[in-house]
Amino acid sequence: MKLLDADRPPVQVRTAEEIAARRRFWGWVLYGVLVLAAAALGSLGGLLFVYNTDLPQVEDLEHYRPISNTELFDDQGRVIGSFALQRRVVARFEDYPPVLREAVISIEDKNFEKHWGVNVWRIVGAAYRDLISGGKVQGASTLTMQLSRNLFLSPERTYGRKLEEILLAIQIERRFTKAQIFTLYANQIFLGHGVYGFETGAEFYFGKHARDLTLPEAALLAGLPKAPSSYSPINNPERALRRRNLVINSMLEDGKVTAAEATAAKEEPIRLNLQSDPNSLAPYYVEEIRRYLEKRYGSDQVHQGGLRVYTSLDMDMQKAANKAVLDGLAAYEHRHGWKGRLENVLLEGQTLEKYHNPDWDETVEPGSYVHGLVTQVSAGVAVVKFGAYSASLGPADAAWTGRRIPQLLAPGDVAYVKVISLGDDNQARVTLEQDSGVQGALVAIDNATGDIKAMVGGRDFDTSKFNHATQAQRQVGSSFKPYVYTAAIDQGATPDDVVLDAPVTFTTPSGPYIPHNYDERFEGNISLRRALANSRNIPALEIAQKVGIATVISYAHRFGISEEIPQYLPIALGAADATVLEQTSAYSTFPNDGVRLLPRYITKVTDYDGRLLEENYPDVRDVISQRTARIMTSMLREVVLHGTGVAASRLPYALAGKTGTTNDFTDAWFIGFSPNLTCGVWVGFDEKKSLGNRETGARAALPIWMEFMQATLTGHDPGQFQPPPPLQPSALVQKVDTPDSAPTADESH
């Protein structure tokens, strides 16, 4: 049905004024929009200008060098230490294998190869989530944005910083290739535990180079940058495992691995091969080098500049030295019985679960001595934990104490143990040891170069940084006597000349001086050779008086003893002070035909780019004549063959040396040498207290020296000493024809 005209709505007719007014309204709206748009664009342009003005210049990245370790190498190019604010080894793009690159890109930035530094949709999505959640801006960063943040920006989470991050990322993408960007990122990223960069991470966590990583290992490292502490395989192994498997799943989704490869990789448990701080091998030696380098090059260059320091140390000799000293101190502890007085963490208010000992951060291997935590004690067994290992300590493992386990240990005790063996199940076998405070020091020097091949400055660097090898001035006892005999030989005496070993009173400025021998006996007329071999006191004093104590002291200084020595006769028996390093260097003169090479720590130093900064050559000092040196070597050889060092005659090498013991047995020494190596050993307490009755140099120090020399010389031929020249009777002392009888092994002071 048609609608009637009356049913239709009336047509509204706009007048010309209304149309004009409407047009003016929309004109103003459009104008306002344009003004706002212009203002927004201007503000944005100004903002971009301001940020670009304040932003770092990415061109500097062409010459960028991250903070890098200063590394120390032994004489065969093996790393023995490092100095760094950040633990980092810089690698090249080709050093990072495809499996690692793909793992990182899959989990961190899937479109890395395609985008121009920014993933717009990810940023918008992240910003929206932050707005509705009320949180701070975070996430959505590409690898390039992460790089710009790590290199140039602060870690604060603000929109302003995010904008700076974007602008820098765009600039970086314009100037550098994807391979260059990935390399910069891979060298800069933090992976926890002080480790920076994937090459360093591979070495720290797995003990291998990045190029050798397997799929599970690469995936674990790739998962760390998001939250290194939370996903640490050391502190949070379960979370690390889940994160690693998430990376593998992401690689599967991206077609980087097959389903079979992904399944096999996820079934693999996390197997770490943690590498300890290399400084722990020779900490006292490394500390000496650090002091020298900082004094010469400055702290910043040493800790950030990536120096390469080539040292004289021999890693194998150092390991032998560490073991010899600790074994010798353990033998001393066994001789003197159980003292107890162990630290107990429970009594100090700590818990068993949270206790951590510095020893556990170092590599533990059979032969190591570590502090372990006693967690359980029963009638016959104590359970001891150290690091990831646990051991059951039974009666046989503490037999030397003569006590039962409950009498020795309680839960919470920090026990000192020797590691006998380590099992794959983190079970270990240990023996109970003791640390009563006795200290030991050892220095080994190459005779031909003066190179320090090994140095032990004390029992435990974590407990005391004091270096007993270089800082402790200790009385040298009878190890001083070779200087007395050297002065006599240099003035024409011969080893077969005789001196009277009989009661005597010396007149000194301070009054009468009545010396005695260690065994309280006298042997009458005795040859110089036998007097030195048996370390007779009175003959040494007689000779010192004949040549003059001032002359003897001048010889000691020529040998390198730096301490001021008073001019009184008992000095001839070793009342002078010296360091182990000085004594060892001095004795190297004898097998070296009378010349001494100053001890050398460093052969050369280069900078980060390989430019030579310093090179050190052997520094030779003439001390005595070849004739005197060879005669003294033959006399010191007699000490080992028939004298106070006779125990060393069991070693099948040409060896010579001298024992030393001070009054009240406070210091025990043995300084000895082969044709190519000189080694000095000292044992004592920090305070001047007795080691105990009959703890002579032959008993406390010589076994350490023997263990070290045996380990060092096995498989090597050190050669023979050069024979002394033909000898003529001297006028200094009278010669008799009575042959030497077999001397005792007792030692004089």
Per-residue pLDDT, 443: 98
pLDDT tens, 404-444?
A: 999 999 999 999 999 999 988 889 999 999 999 999 999 99
Q: Could you give the residue numbers annotated as active site?
A: 108, 478
Residues paired with residue 604 on neighbouring β-strands, in sequence order: 310, 615
Contact 701, 667 (CB under 8 A): no
User: In the chain, pLDDT over 70 holds for what percent of residues?
Assistant: 84
Structure tokens at 248: 């593998």
Neighbours of 650 (CB within 10 A): 9
pLDDT tens, 668-696?
A: 999 999 999 999 999 999 999 999 999 99
Neighbours of 454 (CB within 10 A): 28
Higher pLDDT among residues 523 and 728, named by residue: 523
Which pTM was predicted?
A: 0.80
Task: Give the confidence band of 575 by pLDDT, cuts at 50, 70, 90.
Answer: very high
- Residue 71, SS3 per DSSP: strand
How is residue 747 annotated by DSSP? -
Per-residue pLDDT, 449: 96
Q: Is a pLDDT exceeding 60 seen at residue 190?
A: yes
Per-residue pLDDT, 171: 82
Domain covering 440-602+618-713, topology: Beta-lactamase (3.40.710)
Higher pLDDT among residues 313 and 519, named by residue: 313
Question: Which amino acid is located at 651 in the chain?
Answer: L
In the CATH hierarchy, which top-level class contains the domain 60-66+83-278?
mainly alpha
Per-residue pLDDT, 126: 53
Mean pLDDT of 266-290: 88
Q: Which of 3-17, 86-100, 490-504, 633-647 has the lowest mean pLDDT?
A: 3-17
Task: Give the confidence band of 522 by pLDDT, cuts at 50, 70, 90.
Answer: very high
Task: Give the confidence band of 280 by pLDDT, cuts at 50, 70, 90.
Answer: confident
Residues in the chain: 749
Per-residue pLDDT, 50: 43
Task: Give the confidence band of 653 by pLDDT, cuts at 50, 70, 90.
Answer: very high
Average pLDDT, the chain: 87
Measured N-to-C along each axis, helices 198-206 and 215-222 cross at an angle, to the nearest 10 degrees, of: 120
Q: Is a pLDDT exceeding 80 seen at residue 215?
A: yes
Question: Domain boundaries in the chain?
Answer: 60-66+83-278, 338-433, 440-602+618-713
Q: Is a pLDDT exceeding 80 seen at residue 386?
A: yes
In the CATH hierarchy, which top-level class contains the domain 338-433?
mainly beta
Q: How far apart are CA 458 and CA 437, in angstroms?
A: 10
Higher pLDDT among residues 139 and 663, named by residue: 663
Q: Is a pLDDT exceeding 90 seen at residue 47?
A: no
pLDDT tens, 579-626?
A: 999 999 999 999 999 999 999 999 999 998 899 999 999 999 999 999
HEC assignment per residue over 254-270 = CCCCCHHHHHHHHHCCC
Q: Is a pLDDT exceeding 70 seen at residue 8?
A: no
Per-residue pLDDT, 160: 55
Task: Give the confidence band of 26 by pLDDT, cuts at 50, 70, 90.
Answer: confident
